[in-house]
Amino acid sequence: MKRSIVFTGGGSAGHVTVNLALMPHFVREGWDVHYIGSEKGIERELVAGVPQVTYHSIATGKLRRYFDWNNVKDPFRVLKGVWQAYRLMANIQPRIVFSKGGFVSVPVVAGAWMNRIPTVIHESDLTPGLANKLAIPMATKVCTTFEETGKYLHAGKTVHVGAIVRKELFRGDARRGLAKCGFTSGKPVLLVMGGSLGSQRLNQAVRSQLPVLEQTFQIVHLCGKGNVEEGLSTRSYRQFEYVTDDLPDLLAMADIVVSRAGSNSIFEFLALRKPMLLIPLSLAASRGDQIANAENFRKQGYAEVLHEESLTADTFITSVMSLYEQRDNYIAAMDRGPKQDPQQTLIELLLSTAKD
């Protein structure tokens, strides 16, 4: 009988990227690979690019910490999703389930637990998110990206594996990136990433200071869905909503990066030795996970941090120029960081945890 594995995770690109790194390995090894996600989430679009993976959609609801009328309806959607996931598990009979988090993952982990199927969860952030907090009691193992995360979790379940970075990111070609943007090789490149949905304050800070930035840099700006400002692009400034296949090339040509502080992204910059200015989501817009991620990287000398409450046109320019001037120091600190192969460690853990 062919071995089966189920992946889950969604709601944002960060909850899918590790799955995208792992799934091709199991496809090559002859596993029957399935993905359980939401009907309309970004995970469906991203997983469509991986051949030989069967996608299943289930009902899901968001678990909010604030009042919203959807809080009345969403628990019923979650219960429906649990029932759907339970039936899918009974039909697929996977040997192992791997969850990257996000709200869609909770019903999947519950469905696996009800079918007595082992589950491995991967927590990217320094502190666990709400969805993973709910799912962890039902999981067999919990893998962490930050070693410090272990103090928040059950010691018997926790395995520190590090960050999983997609292999294709290392195959980026700076010349292809320059050609895509119409840039030259004689001027530094600043890459600005605000996440798949973009950041209005970050976008505004970049655009308000374009005349100053263009004196030193060529700027490629990933501004988020629906946030391209027509007529603003120049020979030194290019905008894209969101980039997938071409991202390795854009990263290869970048001299420095400005970004939010999602765990997957910042560990990718670390692996590629890209000096980074991190502008984490504020406590008003998040549970503070990005602030913790950013401060961890700042303490290790990997990044400069500008908190959103302090983000103005002037502080943005000052921080960008400081990062660029000190870029060699940041690269040296990253070179001194730990050397490991987290992806192979995680694959071996999945294989050893899987049902016989």
Indicate whether 1 pLDDT > 60: yes
Average pLDDT, the chain: 90
Q: Please name the residues in contact with 159: beta carbons below 8 A apart, sequence gap of 6 or more.
A: 141, 142, 143, 144, 349
- Quote the pLDDT of residue 152: 79
Which one-letter DSSP state was computed for residue 280?
P
List phi, psi (to 5°) of 239: -115, 140
Distances (CA, A) of 236 to 64, 76, 178, 223, 313: 41, 50, 11, 16, 19
CATH of 4-162+341-353 given 3.40.50.2000, 3.40.50.300, 3.90.226.10, 3.40.50.2300: 3.40.50.2000
CATH superfamily, domain 169-335, is Glycogen Phosphorylase B; (3.40.50.2000)
What amino acid is encoded at 71 in this protein? N
Which of 9-13, 243-247, 304-308 is most confident?
Answer: 304-308
- Quote the pLDDT of residue 68: 56
Indicate whether 201 pLDDT > 80: yes
- Quote the pLDDT of residue 49: 85
Mean pLDDT lowest among 45-54, 69-78, 80-89, 329-338:
69-78
- Quote the pLDDT of residue 196: 55
Binned at pLDDT 50, 70 and 90, residue 73 comes out as low
What average pLDDT score do residues 257-267 get? 92
Could you give the CA distance from residue 246 to residue 263 in angstroms, rounded to a whole number?
20
Indicate whether 319 pLDDT > 90: yes
- Six token digits for residue 49: 């690019």
Angle (nearest 5°) at CA 22 between 4 and 5: 10
Could you give the CA distance from residue 284 to residue 118 in angstroms, rounded to a whole number?
36
Could you give the CA distance from residue 186 to residue 71 in angstroms, rounded to a whole number?
54
* Within this chain, domains 4-162+341-353 and 169-335 share the same CATH topology: yes
- Quote the pLDDT of residue 76: 80
Question: How far out from the chain centre does Cα 38 lie?
Answer: 17
What average pLDDT score do residues 244-272 get? 94
DSSP 126-176: SS--HHHHHHGGG-SEEEESSGGGGGGS-TTTEEE------GGGGG--HHH
Mean pLDDT lowest among 57-71, 230-244, 294-308, 328-342:
57-71
Query: Which 3 state secondary structure label does DSSP give 28?
Result: helix
Binned at pLDDT 50, 70 and 90, residue 143 comes out as very high
- Quote the pLDDT of residue 72: 55
Binned at pLDDT 50, 70 and 90, residue 144 comes out as very high
- Quote the pLDDT of residue 126: 86
- Quote the pLDDT of residue 293: 93
Indicate whether 284 pLDDT > 90: no
- Quote the pLDDT of residue 337: 80
Which one-letter DSSP state was computed for residue 282?
P
What average pLDDT score do residues 250-266 get? 94
Domain ranges of the chain: 4-162+341-353, 169-335
- Quote the pLDDT of residue 231: 86
Binned at pLDDT 50, 70 and 90, residue 65 comes out as low
Binned at pLDDT 50, 70 and 90, residue 339 comes out as confident
Q: Which residues pair with 278 in a beta bridge?
A: 259, 305
- Quote the pLDDT of residue 217: 97
List phi, psi (to 5°) of 200: -60, -40
- Six token digits for residue 287: 């549970």
Task: Give tens-digit pLDDT for 152-198.
Answer: 787 788 999 988 888 889 999 999 999 999 999 999 999 999 865 55
Indicate whether 71 pLDDT > 70: no
CB distance 355 to 95 below 8 Å: yes
Could you give the CA distance from residue 45 to residue 32 in angstroms, rounded to a whole number?
20
Closest residue by Cα to residue 281 from 197, 346, 178? 197
Binned at pLDDT 50, 70 and 90, residue 53 comes out as very high
Indicate whether 70 pLDDT > 70: no
Angle (nearest 5°) at CA 105 between 267 and 161: 35
